[in-house]
Structure 1
Amino acid sequence: FQRSLPQLPLPKLEKTCKNYLKAVQPILNAEQYRSAQGLIWDFCNGDGRRLHQDLSTWYKYHKHTSYITEPWFDMYLKSRVPLPLNFNPFLVWKLDPDSKYNEQACMAANLVISALRFKRSLEFETLAPQVFYLDEKTRNSPYFQNLIRWTPENVACYVAYLFKAYPLDMSQFPFLFSTTRIPALFKDQLVINRSSRHVAVIRNGNFFSVEVLDKDGFLHPPDLIYICFLNIVQQPLQPAAFPLGILTTLDREQWSLARSQLLAIEDNQSILKELDGALFVVNLDSDSSRDATAIGKNFLHGDGCNRWFDKSIQLIVEPNGLSGINFEHSWGDGMAVLRLLEEVSLDCRRKKWAEPQNTALLKKVDVSQCVRKLEFKLSRGLEELIRKSRESFKKLTERLQLKVLSYDGISRRFLQSKGISPDSLVQLAIQIAFYRIHHEPAATYESCSTAAFKHGRTETVRPATMATKRFVHALINDRLSNADLLPLLLDCSKEHSSLVKQAVTGNGFDRHMFALKALAERQGNRIPAVFMDETYSTANHFRVSTSSLSSENLFLGGFGPVVVDGFGIGYNFRDERLGFVVTCYSDKNNAQEFVNTLHTSLDDLNNILNSIKS
């Protein structure tokens, strides 16, 4: 399908300006809104028209990609803030119900094998395409599958559309493996090693290289891979005195300078090359998290000593077998990582490649050709930087609060029977909770995939609308009856669904505005006044940032707040449950208070819905 994916639409400038005003109205006062109106229409009739014309010309001659691809990569790679908490999200698998396979080395081996089987299917183009089916019957239809198989690649998407099947962009998938973000001054680099045959393993801050593919690119026998991990797990390793991974928690300028010092020391170049060129990192942690909060904090950031946040994928395995992924975000979005999680889960369930065995096998198998310890040489200056980095990261992560909410009172089926969009209800509950605590609406970000288009990334849905504002005031300030609140609730659902449809079809305004601003900066001209005004900053200071990834194989998923006084909220739907992971900084907000208030808000909405007939 990839060749026939349509280009991400370039919205009309006037429509973008109207949508911008509509989005900012709920969070601005009357004076700010009047200012925003004047600025956006001046922009539309002046600088914006010229920039849009330039962007339209570029768009016309670059049909092979999207207008957002380059500026979006630049946004990530030029950012100088540290990766953990600011960019890297996490996902955690459910534990294997067969506890004998939860032994750490066995779990690591099976996950690595399944991940590399996924990689091979991707390379040999045997991986099923990523398709969104409006009609589930189409997914399993032999007629549809055969028709697509014989359809020319350059029109395959358009044939699929006739069956309400929407192929999604898969250009991010190769970046899942062998990819590292290299720190550099001003702008980082993404480096891919196509010939990689090893994974990097970190245990107690010590680094190892484990060869998992032979010279022809085939997987080593599962027993050998298992024994390699068992060898590392059973080594009497003390925590590294100077764990190098902590340097990947620094801001990118600091880390770039430190890396240059590291490379200047003999032998470190080849070791760093091996680490950067690994297929991915496997983090064998020494402690098992005691509860959901501890799990979330460990997979989001840990203590930084047993991590390498620059790697596209870190596969984290605790001693009890609990496993998950922490991923660097510049190369791609959650959809690709979730597909990896789904396929690995399915493959592990279908067949256990590695079996937990008697450790006497260790004596019979020589792993010296596959397992190699990587030992860096450090200067006094680097040792001191590592020490200080540990202290500062510890202080930062102690400020980061993370709380988990599981709400059992609302199911997807129940909401659909009431004519309510499940996503709109969750977003409305978040708006109610924030207002109850802060007594004002917040600029709110919801990530929406535009993968239906070639090289699509994401678009912003802004769930804080005039409809949600009216509902929140009616519920909290006016205390209207359930019967009076119901039509307002339905309005919220209708408005939210419209915004999601707008975003997913490439007709949102945020990425268009972002691209116009990036173009102005690249041209070196004066930045248009609309982008320099306080109202634009207010509208883009997202005190609530949200993202939804739903999977029956997912236990937890989340990310840090995107602003220091904000909340990061990851949520997922199950048939009979809603799950939330809420993060914030303790000096600005209280995650437990928000979770409690969110629970109350969901109860309120549940009561309204239960008071009416379907």
Structure 2
Amino acid sequence: MSRYKILPKLPVPALSDTLDRFLTAMKPLTTQTQHSQLIKSTNSFSKREGVYLQNRLLTFAEETDNWASRVWVDTRYLSNRDSLLFTNGKTTLKTRLKWSTHKEMLLAISQHLFSMVRLMETIRDERLPQEMIGRVPQSMSQYIRLVGGYRVPKPKIDTQVFSPHSKHIIVMYAGRIYRMPVYNPADGNKSLSVEEMYQLLSQVMSSSSEETQSHAPVSLLTALDRDSWSSAREQLIQDSSINASSLREIETSLFGLCIDECTNGDDRDSVKRVTFGDIRLDCKNYNRWHGLGLQTIFTKDGLEVFFSEHSMIDGILTGFYCTIPKIDSSTTDKLFQFKSAVKVKQLIWEISPRTHKQIKLAKSKLNIWYKDYDYFDGDFTEFGRDLFKNYGVYYHGFIQLAIQLAYYKLYNQLTASYQTVSMRSFREGRLEHPITVSEDMKTFVESMTTSSQSDRERWRLMLRATNTYKLLLSETSGGHVFVKHLQALRYLAEKENLSVDLFHNSHFELFIEPKLAISSIYSTLPLSANYPLFNGHFVGLHPKSDSIYIFITTITSRSPKTSFQLYTEIVSTLSVLRDLMETEGCIE
């Protein structure tokens, strides 16, 4: 992490280059007439507002470590008013943990907490090993934001606060929230042992089972849209100083731990349940606090899930979770006899009638959203990455072609889509999301939907399209961030209340907010992730040597096709393209 300062700053692309790339990206997605209109709007922008905004961006870039990351966090996350259920990623460990007793479960979670605290210390003290790609150091700045990070709801745009030296975590169980120390102030603020954490978790579980009075699931409010939650939070503070104190404990915690009841379903249903939290029994057992930098969820039947606040860290860094030591649930008699000197504290609330109405509203919305949330996953086992070692086809380009062809079969059209590209070789680097549809990709897709093309010609078109895609990703990783560039120019225009015709064009909106997002996760663990788009599909991939794990999320009320329908088409298309490659491809 100490090598961060030597990383170069991300350059600002030339305005003419970005506008050319914008028009190239939009050509396969527009008619000839629409594209001609876009050219006129773009030319007008380049001669008028574009020059002024480009100069403003150059100044802004001088004042910040990474202009693109700053704009991305503000525009995509902090100013996004949607519920965090729909704007945050969730990473699920699909392998269920093994324990046979209540004690074994608590021990396993205690060991996890102990490892998490140590990992937080390692990140905070900048002792995390420097990540490299080849000989190029990668920016490590995102990790530190997980340590005591919290996203505070505010009107119009949220803020981030950080408590990296926090001495406590938040534990959520049976709809109640507890402050749990992870350091002992009577012992020089030494971190608690596994045995002490076990005892504190036992206190949480016993306290919840003994508590008989009704409680208001205040955490439901955090699932509302950001403006509604901001208003409800202010109301809580006005209602009572007790509420203000409870909020302070949550917002300054190191991270969150949620313990859920059994998911009672197959893994696919479990992913949906842990995403939303337990909304059964009138949501009384809701165990989520959206906005925490990091939350770990354990279900009693052994599923482990990580929620990370997307404004803090990108989903591409989910390999971070693999650094947490493996959980061992072996037990000892000594453990159960140990007595801790520190105690947990249940956070309490004084709820006004107005806040009760907001909680009731949140319950209603959660139930609607739950029905609207469509998730499907499955293992494609016919081939994996190893197949491509013998063919001159770029693997990621091949997958992109398959997904676009599948989308075309479903909707009879192509759509703007993006593929995440790491920009961490630059200071404060995060991701770029280049629009990956090209004229070559369009030509190939159309060749696969007509009978006039030979397989030999289709193979030639496939190679051209995948090479074009590879070149795009290579140029992007080198700093040609044309999507972020246009986002930054619009961001500065909005800050100065400058109306720009180009930015109000419907096709520009399609460019900025694609209907198809594609992301890959690389891990030795069986991970899945979901990141729903309000107006389209999120396709996640976990490529393995001999298979591809595919997971898709969709908001059904905003999309005419389901996740299962898209999954079915993708699987079918992968097989078709594999056959084409093996029949016509040249073995090298």
Q: TM-score, normalised by structure 2?
A: 0.92
Write the distance in 2 (CA, Å) between the matches of 1:384 and 1:97.
39
Write the distance in 2 (CA, Å) between the matches of 1:98 and 1:206.
26
What is the deviation of 1:254? Answer: 1.0
Write the distance in 2 (CA, Å) between the matches of 1:586 and 1:491.
35
Q: Which letter does structure 2 place at the counterpart of 1:22?
A: T
What is the deviation of 1:196? Answer: 0.9
Write the distance in 2 (CA, Å) between the matches of 1:446 and 1:270.
43
Gaps of 5+ in 2: 280-285
What is the deviation of 1:446? Answer: 1.7
Corresponding position: 1:439 with 2:412: yes
Write the distance in 2 (CA, Å) between the matches of 1:257 and 1:573.
43
1:118 touches 1:340 (CA, 8 Å); kept in 2? no
Of 275, 284, 305, the match for 2:259: 284
Write the distance in 2 (CA, Å) between the matches of 1:261 and 1:225.
34
Corresponding position: 1:341 with 2:341: no
Corresponding position: 1:569 with 2:539: yes
Write the distance in 2 (CA, Å) between the matches of 1:406 and 1:240.
44
Write the distance in 1 (CA, Å) between the matches of 2:138 and 2:264.
36
* Change in CA separation of 1:222 and 1:540 when aligned onto 2, cut-off 3 Å: same
What is the deviation of 1:384? Answer: 2.5
Q: Give the alignment's Cα RMSD to 1 decimal.
A: 2.2
What is the deviation of 1:332? Answer: 2.4
Of 214, 226, 236, the match for 1:262: 236
Post-superposition CA distance 1:199-251 (Å, at most 9, x none): 10111211111111233453211111123223434542679652111101111
Write the distance in 2 (CA, Å) between the matches of 1:97 and 1:379.
41
Corresponding position: 1:512 with 2:482: no
What SS does structure 2 have at the residue aligned with 1:71? helix
Q: Which letter does structure 2 place at the counterpart of 1:462?
A: I
2:419 touches 2:518 (CA, 8 Å); kept in 1? yes
Q: Which letter does structure 1 place at the counterpart of 2:235?
A: Q
2:263 touches 2:273 (CA, 8 Å); kept in 1? no
Q: Which letter does structure 1 place at the counterpart of 2:469?
A: H
Post-superposition CA distance 1:145-186 (Å, at most 9, x none): xxxxxxxxxxxxxxxxxxxx1111111111112111111112
Partner in structure 1 of residue 268 of structure 2: 293
Q: Which letter does structure 1 place at the counterpart of 2:232?
A: A
What is the deviation of 1:538? Answer: 3.0
Partner in structure 1 of residue 359 of structure 2: 386
Q: Which letter does structure 1 place at the counterpart of 2:290?
A: F
Q: Which letter does structure 2 place at the counterpart of 1:559?
A: Y
Of 439, 444, 447, the match for 1:474: 447
Q: Within 5 Å, which residues of 2 pair with 1:54-69?
A: 54-59=56-61, 61-62=62-63, 65-69=65-69
* Change in CA separation of 1:461 and 1:416 when aligned onto 2, cut-off 3 Å: farther
Q: Within 5 Å, which residues of 2 pair with 1:83-482?
A: 83-85=84-86, 87-95=87-95, 99=99, 103-133=104-134, 165-215=135-185, 216-234=188-206, 235-236=208-209, 241-264=215-238, 265-303=240-278, 305-336=286-317, 338-344=318-324, 347-348=325-326, 352=328, 355-357=330-332, 362=336, 364-367=337-340, 369-478=342-451, 480-482=453-455
What is the deviation of 1:435? Answer: 0.6
Write the distance in 2 (CA, Å) between the matches of 1:380 and 1:480.
68
What is the deviation of 1:69? Answer: 3.4
Q: TM-score, normalised by structure 1?
A: 0.88
Partner in structure 1 of residue 25 of structure 2: 23
Write the distance in 1 (CA, Å) between the matches of 2:462 and 2:332.
57
* Change in CA separation of 1:292 and 1:321 when aligned onto 2, cut-off 3 Å: closer
Partner in structure 2 of residue 606 of structure 1: 578
Of 505, 513, 520, the match for 1:533: 505
1:309 touches 1:327 (CA, 8 Å); kept in 2? no
Post-superposition CA distance 1:424-446 (Å, at most 9, x none): 12211110111111100011122
Q: Which letter does structure 2 place at the counterpart of 1:7?
A: K
1:248 touches 1:309 (CA, 8 Å); kept in 2? yes
For structure 1, which segment, 193-202 or 215-224, has the greater mean C-alpha deviation from structure 2 after superposition? 215-224
* Change in CA separation of 1:44 and 1:297 when aligned onto 2, cut-off 3 Å: same
Write the distance in 2 (CA, Å) between the matches of 1:35 and 1:529.
12
Write the distance in 2 (CA, Å) between the matches of 1:26 and 1:603.
25
Of 475, 490, 504, the match for 1:502: 475
2:419 touches 2:519 (CA, 8 Å); kept in 1? yes
Corresponding position: 1:73 with 2:53: no
Partner in structure 1 of residue 282 of structure 2: none
* Change in CA separation of 1:201 and 1:46 when aligned onto 2, cut-off 3 Å: same
What is the deviation of 1:301? Answer: 2.5
What is the deviation of 1:320? Answer: 2.2
Write the distance in 1 (CA, Å) between the matches of 2:262 and 2:98.
21
What is the deviation of 1:51? Answer: 1.4
Post-superposition CA distance 1:381-411 (Å, at most 9, x none): 2122212211111111211110002111222
Write the distance in 2 (CA, Å) between the matches of 1:122 and 1:555.
22
Write the distance in 2 (CA, Å) between the matches of 1:240 and 1:368.
29
Post-superposition CA distance 1:94-149 (Å, at most 9, x none): 4377656994323322222222221222233322112112xxxxxxxxxxxxxxxx
What SS does structure 2 have at the residue aligned with 1:410? coil
Post-superposition CA distance 1:463-515 (Å, at most 9, x none): 22212211111111236343222111111210111111122111121011111
* Change in CA separation of 1:557 and 1:238 when aligned onto 2, cut-off 3 Å: farther
What is the deviation of 1:549? Answer: 1.7
* Change in CA separation of 1:30 and 1:54 when aligned onto 2, cut-off 3 Å: same
Write the distance in 1 (CA, Å) between the matches of 2:520 and 2:464.
22
Write the distance in 1 (CA, Å) between the matches of 2:95 and 2:200.
22
Write the distance in 2 (CA, Å) between the matches of 1:68 and 1:495.
24
1:223 touches 1:355 (CA, 8 Å); kept in 2? no
Partner in structure 1 of residue 563 of structure 2: 591
* Change in CA separation of 1:166 and 1:299 when aligned onto 2, cut-off 3 Å: farther
* Change in CA separation of 1:106 and 1:503 when aligned onto 2, cut-off 3 Å: farther
Write the distance in 2 (CA, Å) between the matches of 1:431 and 1:240.
51
2:242 touches 2:348 (CA, 8 Å); kept in 1? no
Post-superposition CA distance 1:358-379 (Å, at most 9, x none): 6x965x4445723221121212
Q: Which letter does structure 2 place at the counterpart of 1:274?
A: E
Partner in structure 2 of residue 43 of structure 1: 45
Q: Which letter does structure 2 place at the counterpart of 1:581?
A: F
* Change in CA separation of 1:398 and 1:374 when aligned onto 2, cut-off 3 Å: same
What is the aligned residue count? 569
What SS does structure 2 have at the residue aligned with 1:581? strand
What is the deviation of 1:93? Answer: 2.1
Post-superposition CA distance 1:556-593 (Å, at most 9, x none): 112112x33x1111212112111111111223321111
1:101 touches 1:355 (CA, 8 Å); kept in 2? no
1:182 touches 1:310 (CA, 8 Å); kept in 2? yes
2:139 touches 2:429 (CA, 8 Å); kept in 1? yes
